[in-house]
Structure formats: structure tokens, C-alpha cells
């Protein structure tokens, strides 16, 4: 599963300043979904690891959030779920898939309602993690 990383706008700004323009990390950050005081980044595990390494240098306060997102995505990736569970609205896997769909749709349409739905799904995922 792809990590979902949510952190405060201040962390985002610090990481963006440290990223080289044109790099995959910069691209991921620039395409993040920004809402009020929070930024949500969806990325593959390799880019999440790159983001973690950048955070260690440019924004150590973001490290725990990124590590948690990586751990959760790894755990989910190792979990074998039935098809019914994966398709059940509100399930962990369904939420992750829906976030992927919404992120792709947002990049195409920039619909202002999509970030709110993604933020709500991220909140649900955090609740499920605890």
C-alpha cells in the first residue's frame, strides 16, 4: 500500500525549501493536497523513504509522522484481506483505495471539495491505526 503522510503546513514548507526543484521529492510535495493547516502527501514507499531522509535533515519534527505512515503502509501491505473486506466502504483498505482515486481526480479537476474528503479519510485512517 502507498503511504499517506499528513503533517502541518510548517513541516511541508520546511521540506519544500530543502527539496531540489525538479526532483521526485519536490514533485511529490508540490502535488500534495493542502488544507488549512495540514498537508497530505500520497506517494510510493521509495518516495516516502526519500521524504523521511529529507525530513531528518530539514525538518526533524516531521520524522515521527512520516515513520508512522510508512509503518502503517507496510503493515497494511502485509495483511491479506478478503475481497469483501477490501470492498467494504469504511474499511481500512477501502479508505486507502478511495484516497488514491480522489488524489488522482483532484490532480485532474482541482475540485475544491476533494481535499476535504481526503482529509476526512485520513482522519478515519488515523483512528483505525490507534
Note the pLDDT tens digit of each residue in 69-126.
888 776 555 444 445 555 667 777 778 788 888 888 888 898 888 888 888 888 887 7
Pairing of strands 38-42, 33-35: antiparallel
Handedness of CA 14, 7, 41, 45 (dihedral sign): positive
State residue 85's pLDDT score.
56
List pLDDT tens digits, range 19-61.
889 888 898 899 888 887 888 888 888 888 889 999 999 999 9
Coil, helix or strand at residue 44: coil
Cβ(62)–Cβ(21) below 8 Å? no
- pLDDT value of position 80: 40
Q: Is the pLDDT of residue 15 over 50?
A: yes
d(C-alpha 53, C-alpha 70), whole Å: 12
- The confidence score (pLDDT) of residue 94 equals 79
For the whole model, what pTM was predicted? 0.58
**In which domain, by residue range, is 107 found?**
4-129
Give the number of domains in the chain.
Answer: 1
In total, the chain counts a number of residues equal to 130
- 1: pLDDT confidence band, cut at 50, 70 and 90? low
Amino acid at each position: 500500500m502507498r503511504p499517506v503522510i499528513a503533517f502541518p503546513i510548517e513541516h511541508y514548507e520546511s521540506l519544500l525549501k530543502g527539496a531540489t526543484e525538479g526532483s521526485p521529492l519536490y514533485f511529490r510535495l508540490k502535488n500534495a493536497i493542502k488544507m488549512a493547516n495540514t498537508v497530505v502527501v500520497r506517494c510510493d514507499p521509495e518516495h516516502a523513504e526519500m521524504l523521511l531522509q529529507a525530513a531528518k535533515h530539514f525538518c526533524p519534527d516531521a520524522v515521527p509522522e512520516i515513520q508512522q505512515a510508512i509503518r502503517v503502509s507496510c503493515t497494511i501491505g502485509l495483511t491479506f484481506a478478503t475481497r469483501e473486506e477490501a470492498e467494504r466502504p469504511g474499511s481500512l483498505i477501502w479508505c486507502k483505495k478511495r484516497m488514491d482515486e480522489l488524489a488522482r481526480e483532484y490532480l485532474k479537476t482541482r475540485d475544491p471539495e476533494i481535499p476535504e474528503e481526503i482529509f476526512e479519510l485520513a482522519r478515519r485512517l488515523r483512528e483505525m491505526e490507534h
